[in-house]
Structure 1
Amino acid sequence: MVLTKCDDYPLHQTPEPVAYAGTDRNFYDRYFFNGYAGDGSGFFAAAMGIYPHLNVADAHFCVIRDGVQHNLHASRELGMERLDMQVGPIRIEIIEPLQKLRVIVDGDGIKAEITFTGRAFPIEEPRFIHRIGPRTFMDYTRMTQNGHYTGWIEVDGVRMDCAPGTMGTRDRSWGVRPVGSRDEQPHGTGVVPGFFWQWTPLNFADRSVFFHVNADARGHQWNTRAVIAPDGAGPEALFDTEGEMAAPLTPGTRWPRDGVLTIAGPDGPETLTLTPVGRFQMRGLGYTSPKWNHGLYHGPLVVEREDFGLEQCSPGSMDNYHVQLPCKVTSDKHGEGFGVFEQLIIGPYAPMGLKEFMDLG
């Protein structure tokens, strides 16, 4: 049987039941959230991924307290039912589509109930299609939305409410990118795989600013967009523009030291200076994690807690390359705000002088 709850909704994109998602084993459907107080404290993040062809659903919840990143991982067999949005102790509820969602966590020593409310209509980023040599590496769509949070998070019995003004970002993406067990087939002679990613969703008093860029090993930008979203804006009021980021690496790492983003705003060029005040390791959400990478099969249901000190994370280890840095942001035209600077560089990247696969800045 392949009929599921989804089939009673007008969601079909092909003549097949919703349980079948094309023919690419790497198809995925994913939720992501992050949040922080106005000064960057109390950082938390959550994610859930569904992998129909791998028959896996996984989820993660993370929170930073006193320099320690506490991570809760969960994975289960999907069983084709994609509307059951709970993986062990982690659940996502859609209260109002494209506007309000809730994350509920009831795990070993880590519990939470937080509600996200969007500030404006989500932006749709350009379709991500990228090939390395002849092989399709990515082909997916993503939407992004800034918002405010209410609720609470508890770690080992210590409950803290979300501070007034707690803000952050959520995204939804779906399509094809590497998930599950690694493909060991070589790319072929002369093909140099490389991946460069920067993403800076920023929150100001009455607007959001978004910028991202994907580039290959030579620095060719194959996907980029900048958007300004006034609070309450519908899709027609989003200001679509261009941006350019200058961000040197912290010596001995692949992490950004700071950043200067230049965008063309509705009132002329605008310069935004990003100053990091902390660090979040994305492996807590499964990204580049050797054990909890997205879509790996663990069994019918497996839940695990993982805690690590941020100062003990070696920047030379590939599973620590992917970071989000909470940042104070200063605009030369619109005052101060706060956001994150996410970066991942895998392999060589000529514009930063990274010649070998694991060179550090």
Structure 2
Amino acid sequence: MMSAQDDLIGHQAAAPFAQRAGNGDARFTERYWYTLHPVSGVVDGVPMIIDIGMGYYPNKGVMDVFAGITVGRKQHNFRASRSLGATPLEAGAGPLRIEVVEGMKLHRLTLADNDSGFSFALDFEASFPAAQEKQNYRERKDEVEEDMVRISQFGRWRGWFSIGGSRHEVEPKTWWGQRDHSWGIRSAMLTDEAAPPVQRHSGFFWTWSMFQFEDMGISIFLKEREPGKPHYLSASEFVRQADGSVTHREATGATHDLEWADDPLGQTITRGSFTLAFADGTPRTVHMEGQAARFYLKGGLYGGFGGWNHGDHKGAYHSGHDVWDLDDAATRAKARTLGDHVVTASCDGRKGVGISEYGVAEGYALYKGPQKHPAL
């Protein structure tokens, strides 16, 4: 089937775009994801983090979006889905739009007024080059389960947002963040109790963490079943030199030492460190401390929520919104573990901030305490 996209350049096969995406695999997904948070951790004394995302499913004819903000112990969520129809190139749905003004440098995100009470006009301004992660490729029983490309990038934010009628200005000096862009075959994540069967996980630890300093950025994606022996590691370091040039290293190894809160409602890291090894022999250790702000990605339909998952066809247009009390046990049980947890970071005298996503599943040799809660 031809679409408006086929009137542009960029074809890489003798077929329409929609036909060639992932060789027609319905799982083929392209996603944008962004977070921003105040460098101080708070706005007027209140912890905050904003998460925004979009998913494009060319072989399902669907695009979905989310935007949310955690304010103190309340998480506000907006979600929407639309059929691609005749406008597959419009990155957004309903009131939410994403525009790549200049690739790898400037993205513009807007959420117009809507019933959730959350709106914004925000620019992501890249502060370091984008890092391309190692290919995520996995087979199971001779079938491709995952084959995905992802880039991640640090940035500073500019613009404004409004929540509950209160408007806040966003300036690059005081609001930092990160983004990613991924595409390919994604393995299914099914963790919605409202839509069984629910996946159960065992015997692994994982983290996807990004730490930003004034002159350095470090990103880590690590998965392991045995402590100290990652079966997947993609970690990048960018350092801005005095002359403005940026050096880049890729880690060859990683270890971690983490402390966990005695949290009766879920998995929560309080502090810890990651040590990266590099081919030149000079390691780098980042120390982090978990802060109060955290956005649980269930609010953006990761793993599904309330019977609605990424890529589900919901008609020409569908939207929803809600507010979660993160101190409520039933709400946290539904939110599970996967989330963007704001952290402060220190490294070789530098002070910075970032986010950490993480989880540890029952049967992993370390960190037994939090294993009573789900890893994702």
| Contact in 1 for aligned 2:207/2:356 (Cα 8 Å) | yes
Going from structure 1 to structure 2, the CA distance change for 1:241 and 1:14 (only over 3 Å counts) comes to: same
TM-score of the superposition, structure 2-length normalised?
Answer: 0.83
Matched with 2:39 is 38
Going from structure 1 to structure 2, the CA distance change for 1:303 and 1:119 (only over 3 Å counts) comes to: same
Q: Partners in 2 of 1:258 and 1:201 — Cα distance?
A: 15
Question: Is the deviation greater in 217-226 or in 145-154?
Answer: 217-226
| Contact in 1 for aligned 2:299/2:335 (Cα 8 Å) | no
Q: Partners in 1 of 2:201 and 2:159 — Cα distance?
A: 46
| Contact in 2 for aligned 1:327/1:340 (Cα 8 Å) | yes
Going from structure 1 to structure 2, the CA distance change for 1:325 and 1:355 (only over 3 Å counts) comes to: closer
Matched with 1:250 is 261
Give 3-state SS (helix, strand or coil) of 2:299's partner: helix
Tell me the alpha carbon deviations over residues 138-161 of structure 1, each in whole angstroms, 9 at most, x when there is no partner: 210000000000011111211111
Matched with 1:86 is 92
Equivalent of 1:153, from 148, 161, 164?
Answer: 161
Question: Is the deviation greater in 220-229 or in 13-22?
Answer: 220-229
Letter in 1 for 2:342: P
Letter in 1 for 2:139: R
Matched with 1:307 is 323
Going from structure 1 to structure 2, the CA distance change for 1:275 and 1:180 (only over 3 Å counts) comes to: closer
Task: Percent identity, please.
Answer: 23
Going from structure 1 to structure 2, the CA distance change for 1:12 and 1:194 (only over 3 Å counts) comes to: farther
Matched, 1:167 2:166: no
| Contact in 2 for aligned 1:138/1:177 (Cα 8 Å) | yes
| Contact in 1 for aligned 2:160/2:167 (Cα 8 Å) | yes
Q: Partners in 1 of 2:189 and 2:366 — Cα distance?
A: 31
Matched with 1:10 is 9
How far does residue 54 in structure 1 lie from its aligned partner after superposition?
A: 1.8
Equivalent of 2:101, from 95, 99, 104?
Answer: 95
Equivalent of 1:240, from 230, 250, 259?
Answer: 250
Q: Partners in 1 of 2:145 and 2:372 — Cα distance?
A: 18
**Structural mapping, 1:1-361, within 5 Å:** 2-20=1-19, 21=21, 22-41=23-42, 42-79=48-85, 81-106=87-112, 107-108=114-115, 109-163=117-171, 164-179=173-188, 196-216=205-225, 221-231=230-240, 237-242=247-252, 243-251=254-262, 252=264, 253-264=266-277, 268-278=282-292, 279-291=294-306, 292-312=308-328, 317=333, 319-331=335-347, 333-345=348-360, 348-353=363-368
| Contact in 2 for aligned 1:70/1:307 (Cα 8 Å) | yes
**Number of residue pairs aligned between Structure 1 and Structure 2:** 355
| Contact in 1 for aligned 2:360/2:370 (Cα 8 Å) | no
| Contact in 2 for aligned 1:32/1:171 (Cα 8 Å) | yes
Tell me the alpha carbon deviations over residues 29-76 of structure 1, each in whole angstroms, 9 at most, x when there is no partner: 000000011122331010000111222110000112232111111011
Q: Partners in 1 of 2:87 and 2:354 — Cα distance?
A: 35
Going from structure 1 to structure 2, the CA distance change for 1:39 and 1:342 (only over 3 Å counts) comes to: same
Q: Partners in 2 of 1:315 and 1:178 — Cα distance?
A: 26
Letter in 2 for 1:168: G
Give 3-state SS (helix, strand or coil) of 2:327's partner: helix
Q: Partners in 2 of 1:77 and 1:301 — Cα distance?
A: 7
Structure number having the greater strand percentage: 2
Segments of structure 1 that go 5 or more residues without pairing to the other structure are none
Letter in 2 for 1:324: D
| Contact in 2 for aligned 1:323/1:344 (Cα 8 Å) | no
Segments of structure 2 that go 5 or more residues without pairing to the other structure are 43-47
Give 3-state SS (helix, strand or coil) of 1:296's partner: coil
